Each structure stands twice: as C-alpha cells, then as structure tokens.
Amino acid sequence: MLLYGVVARTQKSFDGLPALAEITHHQLVVATALASNKVLFFAGLLHDILKPLLKFKKSTGGWQWHHLDGLEVDNTKANLEKIFKQGLSSILSENDIELLTQLILQHHQRDAVRYNPIAFAENDRSGLGIAIMEATLFPKKNLEHMGLYTCIEAKGLIHPYHFFVLTLIYQGIKYYLNKVYSEIFSSQGLTKLIVEYNFGSEKLPEIRYDNGNSVLTIRYYIPSTLFKDWKVSHEYEGEASFNIKEIEAKNIKIYHSWSDILTLLVPSLSINGLAYKVLCVIPRIITYGDKGIIIDGNAISSFVNRARKIVDNVLAEIQEHVRLDSSYDEVLLRYVEGTEQGNFKCIFCGKRTDREVKLSRGKLLSERFTDYHRIQAGVSVCPLCHVGFSYEELLRNQGPAFYLPLPCEISSIDIADDFKQKYLTYGACPINPKEGVVLSVLGLSTMQLMSNAWYMSLLKEIDRRSPLPSWIKPYTLRAQKDVNEFYVKFLINRKIVIYPLIVKIRPKALISSYGGENKKFVLNTEILEGHTLWRGSELDVTEEHLDVLEALTTTLKYSAYKKVYGKLVSLYGLRE
C-alpha cells in the first residue's frame, strides 16, 4: 500500500462523491495562477493548510469542511497568523504576513470572489475557476478562461504509434515547462517545496522557510489511528522527476517535478469525436493590488509564447533524434492535430500521406521484420507512424524497456475505517464513494501519477546509453536486490491512500518496446490496459494473478519479499 497524501475536496452530489485531487496539488495549482507576487503565491500554497485535519461537521446545508481560524485542534483554537509568523518571517515582512493571513481567512467569505484573489482563482461562476479542473473532466467554461493553456489538441488518433508520439510530445512539453515553472517559482522565493504528512495524532500544521536554499516545508499532522506512525514526504522541484523511495519502514518519500501537477494530458470532446489536449496551468495570471483583482493579459501572452516555442523545440528534437526529414517538425504537428493529405496510404494506420517512404528490404521494414499480419496494404507510412516506428526501433536498440505511464483505472475505492468510525454518530460519512469517484482533469493527472507509482515498484531508471531527447528515460526491471517489502507489497496489492480514500488501481502504460534484443521481428508499441499489467515470456502478469498473491502480504516476513519478487520475475519470465 502506498500512502500518497490527503484529499482536497468532495462534491455535494451523491452525498459527498470524492474527487481524486490531493491537497498539495490543489494548493499548487491555485498558487501557480497567483504567482504574480510573493504574498499571493505563498497565500495560494498555504490557503487550505488546515484541511488535512479533516474536520467535518454536518449542518442543515450539508457537510461543512471547517479549515479556517477558530478551528479547535487538540483542545486549542487554531491561529493561522501565529503559524505563518513562526514559519514565514524570514521571507515575508510582518505586513506581508498579515496580508497573507487576511487573504486566507477571507477566501470563503460571502462575495469574496469580488475582493479576494484566492476566492477569485477558485470560483468558477464569477472568478477564474481553475479549481473546477478538480471537479470535472469537461468544464463548461472555456479552458483558456479558466487559466489553462492548450499546448496541443490531438485529433483522429487511431493507432498505438499515434498515441505514442503524442505521449512523447507531452513528456517533452512537460519536461521543458517544468523549467519555466521552476524559474517563475524561484523568482518568488521557492526552489523546493517539501510537504510532510505525519499520520497519527491531531496537531496544527507547522511551516518552515529556509531562506538560504529557498525551501518551504509544510508539516501536516493527520489524525488517523489506522495509519499511525506513517510518514509520507512529497518533494517538488525543478530538477526532480517522479520517483518513490522507502526511507525506512513506514516512511516514504515521493519526488515530483512541478510539471507532474501542472502539465496534463487529458481527453476532450470535439466534433470529430474524442480528442486529447496537452494542457498546462498558466502562471501569474492573476494580479492583485490597488486596482483590485486583474487577469493579466501580458502574463498570459508571455507564457503562451514560451509554451509555443517549447512545442516547436520538442517537435524538432523528436525529429532530430531519428533523423527524418526536417520538414517533419511542421508536418508532425499537423498530423497530431488530425490533418491528413496526399494519395499514399499508411501501411500501419491507413491514414493518407503525401510522401512516399520506401518500405522494401534495407529501407523502413528490414529483412528482419516479420510482423506482416499487423500491417495493411499500402505503399507508404504517415509521419506519425514513421516517427513512432523509428522511435520504437531506436528505443529497443537502447534497451531495456521503455514505457510511458497512462492514467490508471480505478478497480475499487473505499474509505479508511478509522475515518468512518468518527462519523458513526451522524449515521453518514462526509465522503461517500458508493457511486465511485469524480473523473476530472486533475484527477486524471493523479491517476497518471498512481500508475507511474505502481510501475516504479517494478521498474527502475537506468543510465542512458546513447543520446536520446532529455525527457526520454529507459527503465529496466528491478533486480531482486533493488526491491524491498514496500515495493513488493505495493506491486501486489496496488492500493494507494489519498486519506481517507483507499483506492485500488489498475495501472496502465504505453509500452514502446521491451529491450534486450537488437532485432526487429514484431511491432512492439502497445497499450497495456485491461487486466494485463506487464508482459512475461511465459505468462503476462494480470490483476487476477496479483490478487491470488495478495494472501502473502499479511503473512510474509521482511526478507521473504525479495525472494517472492525473484520468483515472480523468473516464473512469469517478466520482460525487461
């Protein structure tokens, strides 16, 4: 089981339908929109810091999640100003801290959307409404009016190669935008954010700002008997990529880049059917001062220009590494966006293309290619499939596995028993997953991180053997010595806690190639979905199989986990 964090919101519908949004992610999204000055930025990062205490009360209007001043915590009344003065005095003046406290305390007042920038950022009716990305996958509002920029809208993807190329582009955009976010946050005094979740007793959160290194640490105490003594730390920074490490028993560290939260690949509806959008949160969009709250058009256009340049660079970089025609930079974008032209037909996907690609021996399909039953009649290859095929070849030659995590599916969702117990007297729980969970833009990114987390328990990053675009990372199966009880248990039971939600996931990934053999017999690129979680030469690992192994997770001793993992790899013949 992986303890990941704490929920950020519930929906009023269906008696408290949960949303897969994590509290730090929510605060980071709001803070990004407010990153036009230090006070606003830190107010965004800290505006809900009492929420992880999970103090719900039922009133006539339904459940209220109390999280502002006056909240009684461990028999004392919470005083936010005191917490901020203790933690932020090395970066903000006394006046600034007073303003920050005031902004946070006001953000749920009636009509706050008119005068409070946090409320403005969150409110979808009269404000920006960026927080609505946690509540729905298809917001009614135009995404750009919500503070989200669409880097690319992909349409008409009909082959695994198409989705593979789109995901490569997304990873590239994410990588470079992370640097942009990092630069903007650094200019506001934040190079690293550390969030610690300490499960056990009820205590007020603590904040510490390290002026020398520009690091903000937020320490939450979550009242939970079920997960008593567990500690989970998140680290967010410009250079990090997603990873999970067990520091010691019941102490997990999870590394994120800023972009893991702020750059998203989501499905969307278009008149031509399902499309995909690469979205990102526009930083510094809200300014606040004497003239009140203003949406800053200059900040939007300056960010959009940078994002456009990033898209161009990523497309060029993708093309350079497989040395295709340099005109592919532009053509690739057209094909991703659903345009096709020409009279040649692609042998992989059937799309039309205006250029001829030689397929015969010694050309694209070498004499080693045998997967003829998976190609169609045709005389050429469309640019998307050409890039996909070439990358598959390139990555397989690098070996070992190359995978891109996709948002997981949710197999089951439950509420932690200790949380339910607290509300027994009410006869109902403030969070009710009976009808499942809200699928939302931010929820999909959480589900992607969940998938990623699961694959990290099976795979580890290896040093690249030859030049690849900077964001492409080859992985290999963990060796027996690299696993521990935490990884193996999580690999088997696939449960993630966003307290109080306990979610069992069905991980998904796009596999470009498995490594190990420098030859091409078959097309490798595929989406692992449904019940297959990883391919094996003897048998694929499926959900049902891991369910059978779950009986072991309560009985095994620490050292036996490595051996179980070794057996799993050898008996299934798991592919590297």
Q: Which residues of 106-136 are buried (b: 16+ CB within 10 A; e: fewer)?
A: ebbeeebbeebbbbbbbbbeebbbbbbbbbb
State in angstroms the smallest separation of the CB of 548 from other proteins: 4
The set of residues, in sequence order, having a beta carbon less than 8 Å from that of 411 and lying 6+ positions away, is: 494, 504, 505, 506, 543
Q: Which is nearer to other proteins, 183 or 550 (CB)?
A: 550
State in angstroms the smallest separation of the CB of 144 from other proteins: 45
Contact track, other proteins, 529-568, x by CB under 8 A: ---------xx----xxxxxxxxx---x---x--xx-xxx
Q: Which is nearer to other proteins, 290 or 544 (CB)?
A: 544
Rounded to an integer, what distance in angstroms lies between the CA atom of residue 313 and that of residue 150?
16
State in angstroms the smallest separation of the CB of 230 from other proteins: 21
Single residue of 570, 574, 575, 576 touching other proteins by CB under 8 A: 570
The set of residues, in sequence order, having a beta carbon less than 8 Å from that of 298 and lying 6+ positions away, is: none
Judged by CB under 8 A, the chain residues 470 through 509 that form the site for other proteins are 493
Rounded to an integer, what distance in angstroms lies between the CA atom of residue 57 and that of residue 158?
49
**Where are the extended beta strands (E) located within 271-401?**
273-281, 286-289, 292-295, 344-345, 352-353
Q: Which is nearer to other proteins, 153 or 540 (CB)?
A: 540
State in angstroms the smallest separation of the CB of 154 from other proteins: 38
Q: Which is nearer to other proteins, 274 or 551 (CB)?
A: 551
Q: Which of 496, 501, 366, 493 is nearest to 430 (CA)?
A: 501
Q: Which of 307, 15, 2, 7 is nearest to 134 (CA)?
A: 7
Single residue of 254, 572, 574, 575 touching other proteins by CB under 8 A: 572
Q: Which is nearer to other proteins, 342 or 566 (CB)?
A: 566
Q: Which is nearer to other proteins, 391 or 490 (CB)?
A: 490
State in angstroms the smallest separation of the CB of 543 from other proteins: 11
Rounded to an integer, what distance in angstroms lies between the CA atom of residue 199 and that of residue 238?
27
- Does 361 engage in binding with other proteins (CB under 8 A)? no
Q: Which is nearer to other proteins, 363 or 481 (CB)?
A: 481
Q: Which residues of 423-436 are buried (b: 16+ CB within 10 A; e: fewer)?
A: beeeeebbbbbeee
Total Cβ atoms within 10 A of residue 258? 26
Q: Which is nearer to other proteins, 479 or 539 (CB)?
A: 539
Total residues binding other proteins (CB under 8 A): 22
Strand partners, 459: 477
- Cβ neighbourhood burial of 367 (10 Å; 0-12, 13-18, 19+): exposed
Residues at the contact surface with other proteins, assessed by CB under 8 A: 493, 538-539, 544-552, 556, 560, 563-564, 566-568, 570-572
